[in-house]
Amino acid sequence: LSKTAASILESLFKKDPHEAEFIQSIQEVVHSIEPVLVKNSQYVQILERLLEPERCFIFRVPWVDDRGEAHVNRGFRVQFSQALGPCRGGLRFHPSMNLSVAKFLAFEQTLKNALSLYKLGGAAGGSDFDPKGKSEIEVMRFCQSFMDELYRYLGPDQDFPAEDVGVGPREMGFLFGQYRRLSGHFQGNFTGPKIFWSGSSFRTEATGYGLVFFARVVLADMNKELKGLRCAISGSGKIAMHVLEKLLSCEAIPVTVSDSEGYLFDGDGFDYVKYTLIRNIKAQQRSLKEYLKTFPRAKYINDAKPWGSNMPCTGQAVDILRKAKVHVAPAKATAAGGVAVGELELNPEFSLMQWSVEDFENKIQEAVKQTYDRSMKAAQEYGILKENPESLVHGANISAFLNIAQAMTDQGCV
């Protein structure tokens, strides 16, 4: 790293030494945009300002369980940047949630939104509450208590949340109901018909399908195709299952899925029969180990997971991939399908429920191709060759940063 980049990271380490997730996400971006800082010294101060979130909210969330016992969890919302527009980003309910994770997710969402054609800032938040094992009434009580504080920071020109881990349609419904009760109005212009995601019948497919479409674009640029390739999938939730479904339709050979206890490997590959079995197992909230009862040749490896998500790899894992010259695509780019459909829902003129499957997939593929092209163009403009395994990572970070930096320059020191 140059002295300037190293100095920026050193300052961050001193301020937030215990925020490992946030620091790792910053390291990747600073490494990527170093050529930009060398060529445009005026962006150094812009970066220093960008790395400090505009607002961080931390609040307690008291709630009562079905036995009448009181509990308290911690709530978070980080509005990282509104330079490009009102904040948009997920809410995550998971025991691992803390301020470092919230800042990392908000920073990633800021760049993810900046990489798209739509003018939105980035935010993220949630709680260390775990909805697993809780009754529906307990989840409702928690969501209502959470929104009692969060609603103060939401609005069509300020911030609107989306689903993330542990927050699905049920939780979003409870959160919206309490928001509507507290605010006294139904602000349908937030995300189409509701303040939260609910407008598109294809909303859950968008991110998973988009990931496969992105892989297809990358491979096409290398004169390769998905057909016949063996693919490792992480997770077994909504996004992962849509990835599996779309890989099968592309005639690829998916061989893994994972859950919180480990990962399932089927060397013969999954087909539609096996896909249906996995989907049924997860719908009943059972372990993927159940798969072995029907297909005993498969293997379940405990306490090991092939991850794919926001910042899926540790710094050490990234070094291994780099040395092996494995091509890597960043989550902020591969999520283009979900970002595109989510942002279209913000426009009340779009009636996504009436889209055909073909229209929907065409829209996602268009967004994916545009994101890929913008990322590769930015990389090449700063001397990063397409053959570089990290060209997509660097290009996506550069393109997103330049969009934000220009807006921050225009708006002055605010």
Beta bridge partners of 123: 79
178 annotated to a ligand binding site: no
Q: Are 99 and 173 in contact (CB under 8 A)?
A: no
> DSSP assignment of 9-49, as one string?
HHHHHHH-TT-HHHHHHHHHHHHHHHHHHHH-TTHHHHHHH
Question: What is the C-alpha separation between 49 and 398, in angstroms, rounded?
Answer: 16
Sheet containing 299-302, strands listed edge to edge, beginning at the edge strand earlier in sequence: 230-232, 253-259, 262-265, 299-302
411 annotated to a ligand binding site: no
112 annotated to a ligand binding site: yes
Residue type (1 letter), 336: A
Close Cβ partners of 406 (under 8 Å, ≥ 6 residues apart): none
Question: What is the C-alpha separation between 391 and 311, in angstroms, rounded?
Answer: 16
**Helix H or strand E segment including 77:** strand 70-81
| Rg of the chain (C-alpha set) | 21
Burial class of residue 15, CB neighbours in 10 A (0-12, 13-18, 19+): exposed
Q: Are 75 and 150 in contact (CB under 8 A)?
A: yes
Instruction: Give CA torsion, residues 238, 241, 243, 245, to 10 deg.
Output: -130
Give the residue numbers of the binding site.
Answer: 109, 112, 207
Give the residue numbers of the binding site for substrate.
Answer: 109, 112
Give the residue numbers of the binding site for NAD(+).
Answer: 207
